[in-house]
Structure 1
Amino acid sequence: MDPSRTVASLVDHLGAWTVGDGPLYRRLATGLRGLVGQGTLTAGERLPSERALATALRVSRTTVVAAYDALRSDGVLDSRRGSGTRVSASVGPVRSDGWVPGSHANPMYQNLLRDTPKVISVACLRTPALEAVAEAVREVVHHDLPALMADDTYHPRGLPVLREAVADHYTSRGLPTTPDQIVVTTGAHQAVVLVSQLYLREGSPVVTEDPGFAGCLDLMRDRGACFHPVSLDGQGIDANGVRRAVAEHAPHLIYTMPSYHNPTGVLMSAARRRELGELSARYGIPILEDNAYTGMRAPDEPPPIAAHAPREAEVITVDSLSKVGWAGIRLGWLRAPTEIAMRLSRRKVLADLGSPLLDQAVAVRLLRGYDALAARRSEQLTEALDRTERLLRASVPSWEWERPAGGGALWIRMPGADAREFAQVALSHGVEIMAGPVMTSSGGERFAEYIRLPFAYDEQTLEELVRRLSRAWRELDRHGPAVADPARVVV
């Protein structure tokens, strides 16, 4: 198999490449060199033609030609007649099977590796700290620190007091849990990594929602997962679609986000949760339910899928404090059957020996006031959503969306537009957005008209964000997909 990069994939991974100083071709060359350096582009991989990349980036072909020439001069790229432009073999070995290691690095997270002060990036959700987080930190320092400092072990499964607090948290919500079922992780992200390592290998079939969360889908892709996407309705992932996928593909894992789905914000009904739990028990297929995408909440949120499943079902429940308390708290956990929790703990030991004890002590304090914390975050995000909807209706009335039941983003349809083209225009106006096709495991263009737009911003930032998006939309609407000048960043 020829290791070649599609133009859409390359554009997604380049992200906010126009930010910086110097000629535009130099900035493009720098962006491409960075992808090579981090392993997203690897030795022997073929790049798109100059014309195709120029069209996708909305720049002149001369800009791409000059960037490729600069990289060839530096030994990063090679060009041969009949084989196109490829990453030089000097950057590393080429695998004979054509698999491209590192090629699934998530474009959603590229902005985290850059300093882009002139760009408003809405690629990732932002959850600034609530005051309760600062209070919890103060309480840990004043009351818990001596005992914590005397603890000289790693606690790879998590501090016993935190595991007990998480178990009590689930039990109080209708899911009886013991501390032996809990593994504390460095964010929900690590929990998904551990589960993927346990269940998946090259070619493993996985049932996923379509669309879905690109961050976790890429973790599974790196394990070699083969996705079988199932659409959603108003109650969550379509149960009949899951049944068909189970019958046809015998999946190794079902991955779902019931509370709340990312990016649509759909809240899975209790009846749908019960159906999935029964499917897991009947066919012996594990379910990974990722409940970390919280923030704004519905008042009638059902208990996790595990609470609706028969005893013999194998359900792993993942959650964290990042969206509720603060994104800077890289502290999550998973709940699983005791034997599975122990197997996942062994992988946690190999990963990092254990999560930071100070963070865990803060999490204990936050869990004691979890309901008030969650209510405050939901109140903030509901107000932000109200502002966002008002601004969007006034500035881009042709955009369409359904108000989400929860979470922190809108899933917006732009009728008749190509979201990837709009992303390049938006970048020229100082906004980095995620086009819909990034948020799917199907690999198709079903969501070519969609973008995900987080709304967890202060009023001033939100107004500026919508202003820039409105200007970008008018430009695309008036001039279509003609070449624009991404060097211009509006601030």
Structure 2
Amino acid sequence: MKASGSSGKEANLLFKQAYEYMVTRMDRGEWNAHDKLPSIRRLAQELQVHRLTVFRAYQLLKQNEKAYVKEKSGYYVSPSKTEEQVPTGHTENNRSFPTSSALKNSLSEIQHIPVTYQFSQALIDPNLLPNLFLSEHVKKVFDIYPKLMGTYSSAQGDVELREYLCRYMVRHHNLQLAASDLLITTGGQQAIDLISRIYIRPMDPILVERPTYSAALDIFRQQGARFIPVEITPDGYDLANLERLMEKHKPRLFYMNPTFHNPTGYTVPAAQRKQLVELAERYRCLLIEDDAIHEMYLDQPPPPPILTYDTEGWVVYLRSFSKYIAPGLRICAVMGGAHVIKSLVTAKSLADNGTPLVNQKMFLHYFESPRMQRHLEKLRIALQIRKEIVEQELASTGWRWVSPQGGFNLWLQLPEHIPVDQLLEECLRQSVSFIPGEICDPLKEMRSWIRLSYSFVNEEQLRDGVRRLIDIAGGYTT
């Protein structure tokens, strides 16, 4: 019975992804109003899915007025209301110009709404950063490199920074690395985007945690990926089920965030990390290890990165530093095998020809300073206090969560009678923000969950904002 239920859920997800794939092609202008769509048989072959899956997707297109049927002819793209109103002078050869309406970043859309109680930003309160020290440091960097503003970095990243980060990783994790094994990107999100462009083609199966970082899901959707969800729990993954998924779907990659996971805060135990590499080697599945806040533990340091167990080049490690050092610098180090880094350097050169050299030099001299390392210790204490404040305020609600041992977020399960979509709308109206769990779920089903970030606002605002959130939620009765 369990296997049957799982297959039903996978089939349900598959036809929805086929639907989204077709809508995306329409939004991009690849299929325009009144264009004939591929036959069910042809599209099923192209996507390597069952014809019934494509049929269900076409039925949903028709239901949502995205397509219409001509008897004995097939399916055609329905014109949108805006297309029907576009003047002829705005078209070329009677075809609409492609639009960017397919682009979406659900996380950013919420985070950019100005509110007083900002619980949607998984960033450090700027007042906790050593801003005066950083400003003094800027002058020092320009004294060392007087021509810094007039020079490009290489596409792969500043050699001095890459060599320093190699030494850092060897010292802390006993990794065997060379500067040529690293690429510097403009934040971790750019690294995810570059990887997706190289490794994902329309309807390629990829493994993603459930839940996971919502912006990564939106990036993968842009490439037309087909999601295979992997449940993450406080104890890590069900490795037997993970192996079954790898064997069945032959995924291109597994995007994972195993250390102070976003949004749940869970950490995959050390015992599973070596086994994950063994599975990746056996089924030739690239592991994308996103490690954005490794140093932000609240008690004990987390286990070593999965990369430390990799000897055959099946792990691509994304180590971000921006969030808790200087978010404006946007520095991420990507580490992996030569074949991966070479492709990523080419993609990086096409994207922006290199992360700004000023940012890299400032980060290098800032991060390696003794002052910065002492600052990290103080930051952990401040985050521990903030987490405890939020948990104290939530203690009487009956809401459920697992207290994280690091990171910036609480992953909360609310009672089912509270409609999270309506709650968010009312909270935003009353200047409180959070992230709804639905956008973190590849199945878009986690409607009773929210991510509450406790790192961005001060202690007084935390108490006031959480109390306001609880009061608003209390307005929804069973």
* TM-score between both structures, scaled by the size of structure 1: 0.74
- Output one character per residue of 1:9-43: Cα deviation in whole Å (capped at 9) or x when no partner: xxxxxxxxxxxxxxxxxxxxxxxxxxxxx99xx99
Checking the alignment, whether the CA contact within 8 Å between 1:429 and 1:469 is kept in structure 2 is no
**Paired positions, count:** 399
Paired residues for 1:211-230 under 5 Å:
211-230=211-230
Structure 1: distance between partners of 2:411 and 2:81: 36
Paired residues for 1:48-447 under 5 Å:
86-89=80-83, 102-114=101-113, 116=114, 118-129=115-126, 130-132=128-130, 134-147=132-145, 149=147, 152-173=151-172, 174-294=174-294, 296-297=296-297, 298-309=299-310, 311-369=311-369, 371-394=373-396, 397-416=397-416, 417-443=418-444, 445=445, 447=446
Shift of 1:125: 1.4
Checking the alignment, whether the CA contact within 8 Å between 1:294 and 1:323 is kept in structure 2 is no
The residue type paired with residue 335 of structure 1 is M
Q: Which moved more, 1:423-432 or 1:463-472?
A: 423-432
Query: For the structure 1 residues 131 and 212, does the alpha-carbon distance in structure 2 shift closer, same or farther, using more than 3 Å as the test?
Result: closer
Query: For the structure 1 residues 451 and 212, does the alpha-carbon distance in structure 2 shift closer, same or farther, using more than 3 Å as the test?
Result: same
The residue type paired with residue 225 of structure 1 is A
Task: Tell me what 1:466 maps to.
Answer: 466
Structure 2: distance between partners of 1:255 and 1:302: 18
Checking the alignment, whether the CA contact within 8 Å between 1:132 and 1:366 is kept in structure 2 is no
Checking the alignment, whether the CA contact within 8 Å between 2:205 and 2:252 is kept in structure 1 is yes
The residue type paired with residue 393 of structure 1 is A
Shift of 1:142: 2.2
Shift of 1:346: 0.9
Structure 2: distance between partners of 1:197 and 1:230: 22
Shift of 1:436: 1.2
The residue type paired with residue 291 of structure 1 is D
- Output one character per residue of 1:301-333: Cα deviation in whole Å (capped at 9) or x when no partner: 111101022x11411100222222132231212
Structure 2: distance between partners of 1:415 and 1:215: 26
SS in 2 for 1:323: helix
Shift of 1:249: 0.4
Shift of 1:356: 1.4
Structure 2: distance between partners of 1:383 and 1:308: 34
Structure 2: distance between partners of 1:215 and 1:321: 18
The residue type paired with residue 400 of structure 2 is E
Query: For the structure 1 residues 155 and 138, does the alpha-carbon distance in structure 2 shift closer, same or farther, using more than 3 Å as the test?
Result: farther
Shift of 1:375: 2.5
Structure 1: distance between partners of 2:191 and 2:436: 26
**Structure 2, unaligned runs of 5 or more:** 1-15, 17-26, 34-64, 66-76
Shift of 1:413: 0.7
The residue type paired with residue 260 of structure 1 is F
Structure 2: distance between partners of 1:176 and 1:125: 31
SS in 1 for 2:227: strand
Q: Which moved more, 1:326-335 or 1:272-281?
A: 326-335
Checking the alignment, whether the CA contact within 8 Å between 1:280 and 1:287 is kept in structure 2 is yes
- Output one character per residue of 1:146-169: Cα deviation in whole Å (capped at 9) or x when no partner: 525256333211111111111112
Q: Which moved more, 1:447-456 or 1:321-330?
A: 321-330
Structure 1: distance between partners of 2:100 and 2:308: 38
Query: For the structure 1 residues 314 and 160, does the alpha-carbon distance in structure 2 shift closer, same or farther, using more than 3 Å as the test?
Result: same
The residue type paired with residue 145 of structure 2 is A
SS in 1 for 2:475: helix
SS in 2 for 1:328: helix
**Structure 1, unaligned runs of 5 or more:** 1-5, 7-37, 45-77, 481-491
Shift of 1:139: 2.7
Structure 2: distance between partners of 1:387 and 1:86: 50
Query: For the structure 1 residues 143 and 359, does the alpha-carbon distance in structure 2 shift closer, same or farther, using more than 3 Å as the test?
Result: closer
The residue type paired with residue 390 of structure 1 is Q
- Output one character per residue of 1:50-96: Cα deviation in whole Å (capped at 9) or x when no partner: xxxxxxxxxxxxxxxxxxxxxxxxxxxx9xxxx999551157889x9
- Output one character per residue of 1:228-286: Cα deviation in whole Å (capped at 9) or x when no partner: 00111223233222211101100001110011211110111111111111112222211
- Output one character per residue of 1:346-373: Cα deviation in whole Å (capped at 9) or x when no partner: 1111111111112111211233146434
The residue type paired with residue 263 of structure 1 is P
- Output one character per residue of 1:119-178: Cα deviation in whole Å (capped at 9) or x when no partner: 534222131344445424423422544525256333211111111111112111222211
Checking the alignment, whether the CA contact within 8 Å between 1:104 and 1:221 is kept in structure 2 is no
Query: For the structure 1 residues 404 and 353, does the alpha-carbon distance in structure 2 shift closer, same or farther, using more than 3 Å as the test?
Result: same
The residue type paired with residue 419 of structure 1 is V
The residue type paired with residue 171 of structure 2 is S
The residue type paired with residue 440 of structure 1 is D
Percent identity over the alignment?
25
SS in 2 for 1:288: strand
Structure 1: distance between partners of 2:203 and 2:252: 10
Query: For the structure 1 residues 145 and 186, does the alpha-carbon distance in structure 2 shift closer, same or farther, using more than 3 Å as the test?
Result: farther
Shift of 1:419: 1.9
Checking the alignment, whether the CA contact within 8 Å between 2:258 and 2:289 is kept in structure 1 is yes
Shift of 1:201: 1.2
Task: Tell me what 2:452 maps to.
Answer: 453
Query: For the structure 1 residues 182 and 377, does the alpha-carbon distance in structure 2 shift closer, same or farther, using more than 3 Å as the test?
Result: same
SS in 2 for 1:236: coil
Task: Tell me what 1:49 maps to.
Answer: none
Superposition RMSD on alpha carbons, in Å? 3.3
Query: For the structure 1 residues 148 and 218, does the alpha-carbon distance in structure 2 shift closer, same or farther, using more than 3 Å as the test?
Result: farther
Query: For the structure 1 residues 239 and 221, does the alpha-carbon distance in structure 2 shift closer, same or farther, using more than 3 Å as the test?
Result: same
The residue type paired with residue 250 of structure 1 is K
Shift of 1:448: 1.6
The residue type paired with residue 315 of structure 2 is V
* TM-score between both structures, scaled by the size of structure 2: 0.76
Structure 1: distance between partners of 2:239 and 2:324: 29
Query: For the structure 1 residues 160 and 299, does the alpha-carbon distance in structure 2 shift closer, same or farther, using more than 3 Å as the test?
Result: same
Structure 2: distance between partners of 1:123 and 1:319: 22
Shift of 1:112: 4.9
Structure 2: distance between partners of 1:133 and 1:237: 39
The residue type paired with residue 232 of structure 1 is I
Checking the alignment, whether the CA contact within 8 Å between 2:111 and 2:120 is kept in structure 1 is no
Checking the alignment, whether the CA contact within 8 Å between 2:141 and 2:362 is kept in structure 1 is no
The residue type paired with residue 266 of structure 2 is V
Structure 1: distance between partners of 2:428 and 2:280: 43
SS in 2 for 1:402: coil
Structure 1: distance between partners of 2:434 and 2:151: 44
Query: For the structure 1 residues 294 and 422, does the alpha-carbon distance in structure 2 shift closer, same or farther, using more than 3 Å as the test?
Result: farther
Structure 2: distance between partners of 1:424 and 1:153: 45
Structure 1: distance between partners of 2:118 and 2:141: 39
